[in-house]
Amino acid sequence: MQNYKITLLKGDITKVKADAIVNAANSGMLEGGGVDGAIRYAAGKSLLEECIKLRKEKIPDGLKTGEAIQTKAYNLPAKIIIHTVGPKYYSEDIGLLKNCYINCLKLAEENNCESIAFPAISTGAYGCPIEKSAKIVKEVLSNYIARSLKEENFKVLYSQKDYDVYNKEFA
């Protein structure tokens, strides 16, 4: 196994310098709030234009829960943005959250990314408890690292509470 590092950061994911930044997108790949809104604002209007084109050409029915797709990063300090749709906690299988992280990691590898920054997918408007999220992320990263991952992973948590939960889980 190569050297691999998981770094927990508290702050704004749009300021993190990583090869890939993950967006907790909505299925329509159009403008949303929370992390999605922050990433879109920081990346600039060209991101929306690319997402509209993707909707027309590649995902006319929208991005499915657990899937991931990439775009250019535009004004962000990254090579690419990887968009994924997390599950809605009270109406979808929370196991799909694993797919979000796995599919993002696969896209990062396919694009020769050496670092990737994740938000806490599904923990905002989609209602996944941060404690459940932390356990799922730890499991996914542990299994993925054991197979082949060679990147640095930044887990970027916006609030101190979320940071504290993840810090305890990954301690």
Give the pairing type, strands 68-72 and 80-84. Answer: antiparallel
Q: How far apart are CA 5 and CA 143, in angstroms?
A: 14
Q: How far apart are CA 26 and CA 85, in angstroms?
A: 6
Q: How far apart are CA 79 and CA 128, in angstroms?
A: 29
Q: How far apart are CA 89 and CA 76, in angstroms?
A: 29
Beta bridge partners of 115: 152
164 is catalytic: no
Query: Do residues 130 and 86 make contact, with C-beta atoms less than 8 angstroms apart?
Result: no
**Pick from 41, 21, 17: which is nearest to 31 by CA?**
41
Q: Which two tokens stand for residue 103?
A: 């599919």
Catalytic pick among 36, 93, 162, 164: 36
Secondary structure class of 6 (helix, strand, coil): strand
Indicate which residues carry an active-site annotation: 36
